[in-house]
Amino acid sequence: MNEVKSAELMVDQRINKDNILNQVRVFAPATVANMICGFDVLGFAVEAPGDEVTMTKVKQLGVRITSIKGDDGRLPLDPEQNTVSACAMKVLEDLGLAEEFGVEIELVKHMPIGSGLGSSSASTVAGVFAVNALLGNPLTKEELLPYCIEGEKLACGHGHADNVAPALMGGITLIRSYEPLDIVPLPVPAGMYAGIVFPHVDVPTRDARQLIKERVPLKDAVVQWGNVAGLVAGLYQNDFALIGRSMQDVIIEPVRAILIPQFAEMKAIAMSYGALSFGISGSGPSVVAITQSEAVAKTITIAIKNHLDKQEIDCNTYVSAVNTEGPRLLD
């Protein structure tokens, strides 16, 4: 966590110790990284699922995880290993408050781990947003983002921002550059919905990344950046036809789709029911249909679930508009 620069800029003056709360409860959303054609640079947040963090100020110094629910025992309770506690601790330290009090964290995972829906990001963002809220919001979202990226590094072994940026900022985000960090919020067309299916097959993020080749044909890269440009133009123009034509991934999907049973069949179903586009969410195995209405997204997720049932593959389905808010306080 050393790469996060301390938020020195007179942050002391932004902290009013009388405003520090005793407890906050925060929801942070799942995210669809890559947005099909924008590998590592695009992502959007959804309304549900997501994770929930309850953070309580306590006298005992340090950050502790007191409980994790919904993870089937897969996440570490060690505060230095768990991204939620590690990031919260780093914020407290940078703000010079680590010697004044501690915090206890309860994490409730309302979403599957290893699903390609930004599970670790949702937890990290919930934790970072929670500690900032607990302190009376001394830091802006832009200032919180580097902590979340460091959290991703801890959780996944790489500091990508295509889940944490949309989870924290809400909406559709472009990560134009990492050095320096340059996040561009993109417009969200009214009526855009995501129909998400998480088939219960195991595709760990690290494996999914390793399949991808280090070099790609330039001609494919040209197609991809033409599509990324078309998607961004379509978002600004509210042009769903252009959005649909542009959301095609000729580089990552052909490799990763092999890991996802029934991918081609699910795609055919989605397109036959009117999806604008269909592809892999993040590194999978979740898949996402982008639609122009909630009804179409629902129809597609039901049709895909029916198909997977016949193949004896369990799945979760989610239908959601783009979440333009990002994390929020509960209660």
Task: Identify which of 172, 163, 165, 166 has the alpha carbon closest to the alpha carbon of residue 192.
Answer: 172
Residues 6+ apart with CB under 8 A from 318: 30, 46, 48, 49, 194, 195, 196, 198, 301
Q: Is 283 annotated as a binding residue?
A: no
Query: What is the nearest approach in angstroms of a copy of itself to the Cβ of residue 189?
Result: 13
Q: Is residue 152 flagged as an active site residue?
A: yes
In terms of CB distance, is 213 or 310 closer to a copy of itself?
213
Q: Is residue 205 flagged as an active site residue?
A: yes
- The answer to whether 34 and 252 are in contact (CB under 8 A) is yes
Helix (H, G, I), strand (E, B) or coil at 244: helix
The one catalytic residue in 31, 205, 299, 317 is 205
Distance CA 259, CA 14 (A): 48
Q: Is 20 annotated as a binding residue?
A: no
Dihedral angle at the C-alpha atoms of 154, 157, 161, 163, nearest 10 degrees?
-90
The one catalytic residue in 152, 291, 299, 317 is 152
Q: Is 118 annotated as a binding residue?
A: yes
Distance CA 183, CA 63 (A): 29
Q: Is 231 annotated as a binding residue?
A: no
Q: Is 113 annotated as a binding residue?
A: yes
In terms of CB distance, is 151 or 244 closer to a copy of itself?
244
| Residues at the interface with a copy of itself (CB under 8 A) | 38-42, 174-177, 182, 184, 186, 212-219, 221-233, 236, 242, 245-246, 251
Task: Identify which of 173, 148, 151 has the alpha carbon closest to the alpha carbon of residue 162.
Answer: 173
Query: What is the nearest approach in angstroms of a copy of itself to the Cβ of residue 32?
Result: 16
* Nearest-5° Cα angle at 133, 51 to 157: 50
Residues that constitute the known binding site for ATP: 112-122
- Residues serving a catalytic function are 152, 205
